[in-house]
Structure 1
Amino acid sequence: MKKNRLTVETIAVIFSAIVFFLASCTSQNEPKKRVFYPISLTDSLTLDLPLLRFQEFDGKMYAYDFYDKRIVQIDSNFQVIKQLGSFGDGPKENLLVRDYQVLSNDLVALVDVDKNTFKIQSFEDSVYFYQKFDFDIEGGAYWEDSMLLTMAMEDRLRLNFAHYSIGNSRKEPISALNDLFQEDYSGLIYQGKLLSNKERIVFTSYFSSFWFVLDKKSGEVQFGKYLHDYEKPKVLDEGGIVMLEDAPELIYDSFMTPNEILIISNVGHTDYPDQRILDVYDLEFNYLRSYPLPNLNDTTPDEVFTFKESEVVILYEDKLFFFQIE
Structure 2
Amino acid sequence: SRIWEDVTLDIPAGEVSVLLGPSGTGKSVFLKSLIGLLRPERGSVIIDGTDITQCTAKELYEIRTLFGVMFQDGALFGSMNLYDNVAFPLREHTKKKESEIRDIVMEKLATVGLGGDEKKFPGEISGGMRKRASLARSLVLDPQIILCDEPDSGLDPVRTAYLSQLLIDINAQIDATILIVTHNINIARTVPDNMGMLFRRKLVMFGPREVLLTSDEPVVRQFLNGRRVGPIGMSEEKDEATMAEEQAHLDAGHHDGGVDEIQGVPPQITPTPGMPERRAVERRRARVRQILHTLPKNAQAAILDDLEGTHKFAAHEFADEVGDGRHHDPAAPTASIPTGQGY
- TM over 0.5: same fold? no
User: TM-score, normalised to structure 1's length?
Assistant: 0.29
Which structure is higher in RCO with an 8 Å CA cutoff and minimum separation 6?
2
Larger radius of gyration: 1
